[in-house]
Amino acid sequence: MILVPAIDIINGQCVRLTKGDYDTKKVYSKSPLEVAKAFEGAGLTHVHVVDLDGARAKHIVNSKVLEAIATKTSLQVDFGGGIKSKIDLQTAFDCGASMVTLGSIAVSNPELVLEWLETFGTEKIILGADAKDRRIATHGWEQDSGIDVLDFVKNYTQKGFEHVLCTDVAKDGMLAGPSLELYYELIAAMPDISLIASGGITTMDDIYQCAELGCSAAVIGKAIYEGKIALKELENYQLEQN
């Protein structure tokens, strides 16, 4: 299972929110690049970068931060937040994103998302399934689509999506453990999907449990910033897997 530390960006700074609430913003670093370099130094290979300004503005805002991380580290960047048009998508790839996660646009414009999947391929496009009370949440998690998360993922995997990043909004930033039951349900219903667990991971035990369930990757955010999981522990985990 791939370990994917998260960098969430507001005003060019590295922040974390609680349950996606912008009013809970806590700044952890004024230099997302330095944070990314620390991840790289710990032997991590991937990073999940979220443009929270972009998620609200409905277009990419922090492209320069993405470009700095992508060009000045060897990390593979999965980028999300604010991708609503082909221009945004191209900007993300031009700035060095290895892959993009599409969430809100997959609700509002499925035809366009499927067109992008065909153009760029399944290794470049990840389906973002952000669930709040089992319903897909959009636009920085501030809107409820009313669509059941299982139905949403099933529909898109039947149309060719292979990689799904699922965040349980209620767990995000709470340091209370991941949504293992939801992940189990998704993998049981769709055994062939590559499921990326996100939200609530607090301990190394949570990471082992996600791996045991069959998750292909796990996104780790606040647990790193609050010192619940040390970068050395993540480095050791990766060495164990090799």
26, HSE (Cβ side, Cα atoms, 13 Å): 11
Retrieve residue 90's tokens: 């191209």
pLDDT of residue 20: 86
Query: What does the pLDDT read at residue 31?
Result: 98
Catalytic residue check, 78: no
Pair 217, 2: CB distance under 8 Å: yes
- Count of CB atoms within 10 A of residue 43's CB? 16
Q: From the candidates 130, 168, 172, 206, which is the catalytic residue?
A: 130
Q: How many domains does the chain have?
A: 1
Report d(CA 215, CA 191) in Å as an integer.
10
- At position 215, the amino acid (one-letter code) is C
DSSP H helices in 77-126:
86-94, 104-108, 110-120
**pLDDT in the model for residue 169:** 87
CATH number at residue 15: 3.20.20.70
> E strand or H helix at 3, and its extent?
strand 2-10
One digit per residue, the tens of pLDDT, for the chain of length 242 reads: 999 999 999 999 999 999 888 999 999 999 999 999 999 999 999 999 999 999 999 999 999 999 999 999 999 999 999 999 999 999 999 999 999 999 999 999 999 999 999 999 999 999 999 999 899 988 777 788 999 999 999 999 999 999 999 999 888 878 889 999 999 999 999 999 999 999 999 999 999 999 999 999 999 999 999 999 999 999 999 999 87
DSSP state of 75: P
For 142, 150, 151, 155, 183, the CA distances from 189, given in Å and listed in that order, are 28, 8, 10, 12, 10
Check if 148 is active-site. no
Which residue, among 109, 190, 115, 192, has the nearest Cα to 154 in the 3D structure?
190
In terms of residue numbers, what domain contains 184? Answer: 2-241
